A = this chain, B = another copy of it.
């Protein structure tokens, strides 16, 4: 940590700060400048926090030197994480395995919500045929209004298992609360933690305590650092299979539902070994923009794509405005393949 003192700080304040740093376990290195005194505190600064040190009298600002996350960082773990999804559910038969983090870019497709057995099985077949590697759909739905459709719950999970049985596709589905983790993990191949739960720390811990891989979506106002600290909660729990996913942030822009902040894909890949996916459906919230932004996601290095597809988008119970038809989805996958090849990947 670097502590910058305010102009006119006293010797007593500087000495007091040196004492505090030693107490905490850091070695102070003090420099008296013309306009300001600065202390560089040497040691593992993760024992404290910038906000804690900002309380020391006379300190004007505190500047951290190191990233606050460890297990998620490339410094600790320089090799990109490559791992399989499929095969962890308790409900049989198991899914066909899919590798994330490698040269192949898997597409996870499906409707926003499981609406019925027929709907989900029909869509599972359709997205598989079009080229998807995994099926996503929500059985537990976080909805802005209590008057909106809240999902089919366990019944939806059962239908998802049937869709897996019919197609072999691994199932990615959201879990909303720690108490539901065992239930969802029974059926799912991958637990999705949604944008509104990125800092639901008890849910992160609960997902860290199971073996099922986790797809952790970026919070809609999360910084890069907060996002990697959220992943760190799962990793410190002992679950190494965490995938990240940019899904749009909240800004002043109003022609889209979210601002798709794609530069976080290469930025995350500089800092972390975890696979980084992109979700252009939520990332824009506008169907007509999804194809272009899927292509952009692949071009900038995404390790996987999450996309909403429905056999009848007009009648989708949730998120229809950003959902592709099966036909448009199949066309898009075809168009994306040469882009994947252009960046040395496959789809």
**Interface positions of A (Cβ within 8 A of B):** 2, 4, 7, 29, 31, 33-36, 38, 40, 42-44, 46, 49, 51-52, 54-57, 63, 65-66, 68-69, 75, 142-148, 150, 176-179, 196-197, 199-203, 220-221, 223-226, 229, 232-233, 236, 249-256, 259-267, 270, 283-284, 286, 288-289, 292-293, 295-301, 313-321, 323, 335, 338-339, 341-343
Q: Are A40 and B42 within 8 A (Cβ)?
A: no
Tell me the smallest distance from the CB of A72 to a CB of chain B, in Å: 11
| Given A224-B255, A296-B262, A342-B339, also A200-B201 (CB < 8 A) | no
In angstroms, Cα B198 to Cα A142, docked, is: 12
Determine whether the beta carbon of B260 is less than 8 Å from that of A262. yes
Copies in the complex: 4
**B-chain residues with CB within 8 Å of residue A199 when the two chains form the complex:** 142, 144, 196
Report Cα–Cα, A43/B316, bound state, in Å.
22
Known: A54-B320, A256-B267, A266-B293. A38 touches B2 (CB 8 A): yes
Chain B residues within 8 Å of A202, by CB = 176-177
Most chain B beta carbons < 10 A, residue from A38, A75, A200: A200
21 intermolecular pairs with C-beta atoms under 8 Å apart: A2-B2, A7-B75, A31-B42, A34-B42, A34-B43, A35-B65, A38-B40, A54-B321, A55-B315, A56-B314, A145-B232, A176-B200, A249-B253, A255-B267, A263-B293, A295-B299, A296-B297, A296-B299, A299-B299, A335-B343, A342-B342
Q: Is the CB of B178 within 8 A of A177?
A: yes
A31 CA / B31 CA spacing, docked (Å):
11
Residues in B neighbouring A69, C-beta threshold 8 A: 145
Residues in B neighbouring A63, C-beta threshold 8 A: 2, 63
A36-B178 in contact given A262-B262, A262-B296 (Cβ < 8 Å) = no
Report the minimum CB–CB distance from A54 to chain B (whole Å).
Answer: 4
Bound-complex Cα distance A249 to B267 (A): 17
Q: Is the CB of A255 within 8 A of B34?
A: no
Find the B residue at minimum CB distance from A50. Answer: B321
Q: A261-B259, A295-B300 are in contact. Are A250 and B252 (CB under 8 A)?
A: yes
Determine the chain B residues whose CB is within 8 A of the CB of A142 once the complex forms. 199, 201
Q: Which residues of B contact A176 (CB under 8 A)?
A: 200-202
- Residues of B within 8 Å of A320, CB to CB, are 51-52, 54-55
A253 vs B177: C-alpha distance in the bound complex, in angstroms?
28
